[in-house]
Amino acid sequence: MNPKRLASLACVLSVFAALVVLPGRSHTQSNGPVNSAGRILPADAAPIERQVVRFMSPEPRSLDSSINDYDTESTIIPFDPLLRRDEHWVPGPGAADSFESSEDGKIWTFQLRPGAKWSDGRPVTAHDFVYSYRRMIDPEEANPYGGFYYDIKNAQAINRGDIADLSELGIRAVDDLTLVIETEKAAPYLPYIVSFGNAFPVPKWQVEKYDRKWTLLENIVSNSGFKLGEWVNGSYMTFVPDPNYNGPHKPYLEKVIHPFREASTATILPYENNEVDIEIVDITDLDRIEKDPDLSRDLVKVAARGSWYLFFKTKQPPFDDIRVREALARAINREAICRIILRGTAVPGYSMIPPEFGEYSGDDLKSLQNFEPDTGKRLMREAGFPNGRGFPRQEMWLRAPSPTINLVGQAITNMLKENLGIDITIRSADRTMYMNDLYNWRMNLGFIVFYADYLDPRNMLDMIWHSQAKGYSRSDWSNTDFDRLVEEAAAELDMGRRGQLYRQAERIMVEDYAGAFLYHPVNLELRKPWIRGYSTNPSGISGSIDYTQIYVSNEP
């Protein structure tokens, strides 16, 4: 067989000349009815009219997440990127059926699916992706995730205003169905980048006509198995199959209903009342769930792939002193937080990369940030703040905190008071305000999570901790040795050496106390027993919900 044919993603990450033809997900088919999307329902599926699923989350401010990821909350984004991740985060076919890379890992060619259409009937072309990627890194759009695409040639220079011509971006359409992306260096992880949920095409004609209002119900044009059906402000939105979609992600469901609610008012009451089929669980409800035989049966654990950490403004007092940063890291009892407050739904964290990654090294780095309050007191004394005297009062910022995160925040401030004698007050902000202030380095101290966008160390290390200018990075922390290592690792084609470089970089970051790394969460959800189409591994961790793959079973 031609070695450039039929390579798996693992091969792509190590053999960069491979042409990858990505197979669609396999399903057990039946002679059952065909739904409105043209998909045969599984043998155990309920009748077509019952293929409706409901879930709640805050109302999106916009569905234009290719420009602002933080505006869309937890709703469905009805767009297909070049590649799409499955429930286990492995990239598969999306708008592109196949791709190949050059031997040096810098030129990537994607073949788009023939006959693909937008929801208004226009063809989906490679030119749409060229326009969309240029828009994502256009500095005038102020995309807070613009740095996500800096691997593409000239993306950083364009995003920072050093190159004014958007056509200099390393992405071009050879023809309507062939897209070429050129990277600055070898980028073995590029399939992860282009399968990011927000790396989707946008309809140029609608964007240019309606600007930021192009995703309103009356204006939106999409390219996925779902399209927006209704959007009643302040109440709900619905998604329905798009009859124009001809790809591998046609849904089983006839409708997804998404009622809105504020994050601060989230409870499991709608789930108990059978008003929703899927519900995110806050720890504050865990006792009641575990005591209820029906609710406890429906409780599932879902891989979170994230890290909660404290961040500091490291360029000005008091956190410009590494002793102060280390003292805070040493003063927090992670084991107690995970065991008592989080009820075992998190593991203590001592580094940035979560346990779901093959490169996880938190156990090896534990000694650098372990709970040692006496060490913390000594460091504060050496820094000129004995028992906290003279330490300036600080605010610890929380982003749209759930009841559980409020409890964790209070525990952190109590531990800092008890173990270091310092006074920290909690300040909350909504997501948009918080992220704006975060990227502009207006916070001295904050507590936040970063959930992985893809399963590669570059995402957890470079995306957050590589030094960048204000407005482009979460943190003002910088370290030239760290930067050098992650830059070298990103372009390294030898997977063994690449992993070693990332481990060295992460140790430098932890030793320099860029942050105080506290825990890695496991998400909890309630899912009705009739929701099928996701898997559970031997450890009891369920796959993420993919609304194009789940269906309503006729069996309890």
Q: What is the pLDDT of residues 261-287, one digit of tens each?
A: 987 677 899 999 999 999 999 888 999
Whether the predicted pLDDT of 531 surpasses 80:
yes
How many other C-beta atoms can be found within 10 angstroms of the C-beta atom of residue 200?
A: 26
Output the average pLDDT for the chain.
92
Q: What is the mean pLDDT of residues 382-388?
A: 98
Residue 1 reports pLDDT greater than 50 = no
Q: Supply the pLDDT for residue 266.
A: 72
**pLDDT reading at 26 higher than 70:** no
Q: Decide: helix, strand or coil at residue 283.
A: helix
Res. 106: pLDDT tops 50: yes
Predicted local confidence at residue 493, as pLDDT: 85
DSSP 313-356: -TTSTTTTSHHHHHHHHHT--HHHIIIIISTTSEEE-SSSS-TT
If you classify domain 226-301+524-552 with CATH, what class do you get? alpha beta
Interval 420-447 mean pLDDT: 95
475-519: pLDDT as tens digits: 999 999 999 999 999 989 888 999 999 999 999 999 999 999 999
- Residues of the chain within CATH 3.10.105.10 domain(s) are 306-522
380 three-state secondary structure: helix
Structure tokens at 300: 């599932």
CB-based burial of residue 405 (10 Å sphere; 0-12 exposed, 13-18 middle, 19+ buried)? buried
Q: Note the CATH number of domain 9-27+66-213.
A: 3.90.76.10
Q: Quickly name the fold that domain 306-522 has.
A: Dipeptide-binding Protein; domain 3 (3.10.105)
| pLDDT of res. 43 | 94
Residue ranges matching CATH 3.90.76.10 in the chain: 9-27+66-213
The β-bridge partners of 523 are: 302
- The full length of the chain comes to 556
Residue pair 427/396 in contact (Cβ under 8 Å)? The answer is: yes
Rounded mean pLDDT of 201-227? 97
pLDDT-derived band of residue 395, with 50, 70 and 90 as boundaries?
very high
Confidence of residue 89 (pLDDT cuts 50, 70, 90): confident
Give 23's pLDDT tier (boundaries 50, 70, 90). very low
Per-residue confidence (pLDDT) for residue 88, from 0 to 100:
83
pLDDT at 31: 67
Q: Provide the pLDDT for residue 264.
A: 67
Task: Give start and end residues of each alpha helix (H) in 4-154.
Answer: 9-12, 126-137
| Contact (Cβ atoms closer than 8 angstroms) between residue 252 and residue 44 | no
Strand 171-175: give its sheet, edge to edge.
19-21, 96-101, 107-112, 178-182, 171-175
Token representation of residue 538:
């031997």
Q: Are 445 and 394 in contact, with CB atoms under 8 Å apart? A: yes
Burial of 164 (0-12, 13-18, 19+ CB in 10 A): exposed
pLDDT at 13: 40
Domain span(s) for CATH 3.40.190.10 in the chain: 226-301+524-552
**Mean pLDDT on 169-178:** 98
**Residue 28's pLDDT band (boundaries 50, 70, 90)?**
very low
Q: What is the pLDDT of residue 168?
A: 98
